[in-house]
């Protein structure tokens, strides 16, 4: 997966995550951000990687978001690998 594709998926996940107040609050707390900072940095690759790290660390949330977006969990793993701080592109 290319970094641009990964960024688009991460932004889609962030948009859905933003509709879940508890999950969004948990991410903001873990990342040390407030909503204004999140909005300002939403397109940054390292922030999008952090969003995917947060989601991948919470299986129930991951499965819920994947169901809402119509993507498979392994696509989220591949997206994370393609973003800054990831481990490179997976086959």
CA dihedral 14, 8, 1, 46 (to 10 degrees): -60
Token pair of 67, please?
């169901």
Bigger pLDDT: 85 or 40?
A: 40
pLDDT in tens, 26-67: 999 999 999 999 999 998 999 999 999 999 999 999 999 999
pLDDT in tens, 13-25: 999 999 999 999 9
Q: Tell me the whole-structure pTM to 2 decimals.
A: 0.90
* Chain length of the chain: 91
């Amino acid at each position: 997966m290319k970094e641009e594709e990964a960024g688009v998926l991460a932004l889609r996940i962030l948009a859905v995550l933003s509709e879940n107040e508890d999950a969004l609050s948990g991410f903001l707390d873990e990342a040390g951000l407030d909503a204004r900072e999140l909005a300002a940095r939403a397109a940054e690759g390292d922030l999008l990687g952090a969003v995917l790290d947060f989601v991948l660390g919470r299986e129930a949330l991951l499965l819920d978001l994947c169901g809402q977006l119509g993507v498979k969990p392994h696509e989220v793993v591949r997206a994370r690998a393609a973003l800054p701080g990831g481990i490179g592109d997976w086959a």
